[in-house]
Amino acid sequence: MQIYVCVKHVPDTAAKITVKAPNQIEEAITFIMNPYDENAIEEAVRIKKRRGDAEVIAVTLGKPAAENTLRSALAMGADRGILILTEDPPDSLVTARALTVAIEQDGTPDIIFTGKESIDNAGFQTMYRLAAALDMTVVSNVAAFALEGKRVVVECQMEGGARGVIELSLPCVIGAGKGLNKPSYPTLPAIMQARRKEVKRIALDSLRIEKPSARADILELKPAVEARRAQQLKGSAEEVVRQLIRILREEARVIE
């Protein structure tokens, strides 16, 4: 069985983001594997450990530096990697097409894992597009996963902590949520070994993806303005609470 895991190289959440051009940020900052993708890799590796006959292939699309995230995936237990290289990361439609073509050219996926969202541009859609293109079933925000023969049973996180128990047929695409598992940190030998694992490099252009007529382009990227003028409420606890009540009632108008 072949399990593909799509991972993304994203700025660390704590990194300062500086806008350089409409669609460009300063990249001399710390990058990490998208947090939910760690859950995705972890789950794939667990399946492999249980079944023995599974191969786990990590796939990413990005700039050359994205190889670091691919190596992290390999250190976590993926067998090999595919790096689709581009200097100009495309929109969600093209990204999904590229991942689809790269996976199709490489093998026959039984399961594709992704993270439920990427924390950089929060598109929430890659898994659904992969599934539509490959005619696979799909669920996202998955908090529990079980493979039982030819069927998969998952629990999807729903509103307010409810969970939908869903059964789906293979092949399928799974968007991993945070509750799915606790990713284990790779050991030093695993990190060393990961350096020697195979990474196939493919130029995005060489995939000859037909430009879709539909698209979503970033026209402008601006730093978010922090417009709050922090004001301290002063006085005794009693006075402070009185001021707070006044704010809730007269300024925010959320209480009577």
Partner 1 sequence: MEKVGILIEVKADQIKKANYGVITAARGRDRQLYAFLLDGGRADHKLTLGRYGIHKIIEIAGQEGPLEWNPATWAQAVIEAMEYFGIRTLLGLTSSQGKDLLPRIAARLDAPLVMDCIHLNLAEHTVRKPQYSGKTIATLKVQGGHCIYGVRPNAIAAQPAPCEAETVIYRTAPAPAGLTVKAIKQAMSAGVDLSEAEIIIAGGRGMENGENFKILFECAALMGAAVGASRAAVDADWVPYAMQVGQTGVTVSPKVYIACGISGSVQHFAGMKTAGLIVAINQDLTAAIIGKCDYAIVADLFEIVPRLTRKLQALDGRI
Ligand X SMILES: Cc1cc2nc3c(=O)[nH]c(=O)nc-3n(C[C@H](O)[C@H](O)[C@H](O)COP(=O)(O)OP(=O)(O)OC[C@H]3O[C@@H](n4cnc5c(N)ncnc54)[C@H](O)[C@@H]3O)c2cc1C
Cα separation, 188 vs 42, in Å, equals 17
Cα separation, 60 vs 47, in Å, equals 20
Cα separation, 23 vs 84, in Å, equals 20
DSSP letters along 143-189, please? EEEEEETTEEEEEEE-GGG-EEEEEEESSEEEEE-GGG--PPPPPHH
Give which of partner 1, ligand X, none residue 220 binds (C-beta under 5 to 8 Å, depending on kind). partner 1
Mask of contacts with partner 1, 47-76, x by CB under 8 A?
Answer: ------------------------------
By CB under 8 A, residue 87 contacts partner 1: no
**Shortest spacing between CB 101 and ligand X, in angstroms:** 30
Task: Supply angle C-alpha 217, 219, 223, rounded to 5.
Answer: 120
By CB under 6 A, residue 13 contacts ligand X: yes
By CB under 8 A, residue 203 contacts partner 1: no
**Shortest spacing between CB 189 and partner 1, in angstroms:** 28
Helix (H) or strand (E) holding 246: helix 237-246
Contact set for ligand X, span 14-53 (CB under 6 A): 35
Residues making up the chain, counted from first to last:
256
**Shortest spacing between CB 179 and ligand X, in angstroms:** 13
**Shortest spacing between CB 35 and ligand X, in angstroms:** 4
Number of residues counted as binding ligand X (CB under 6 A): 2
Number of residues counted as binding partner 1 (CB under 8 A): 84
Amino acid at residue number 23: N
Q: Which residue is nearest to ligand X (CB)?
A: 35
Cα separation, 222 vs 218, in Å, equals 11
Interacting span for partner 1 (CB under 8 A) from 59-67, 103-111, 185-193, 237-245: 237-245
Give which of partner 1, ligand X, none residue 21 binds (C-beta under 5 to 8 Å, depending on kind). none
What is the separation of C-alpha 44 from the centre of its chain, rounded to a whole number of angstroms? 14
Residues forming contacts to ligand X in the complex (CB under 6 A) are 13, 35
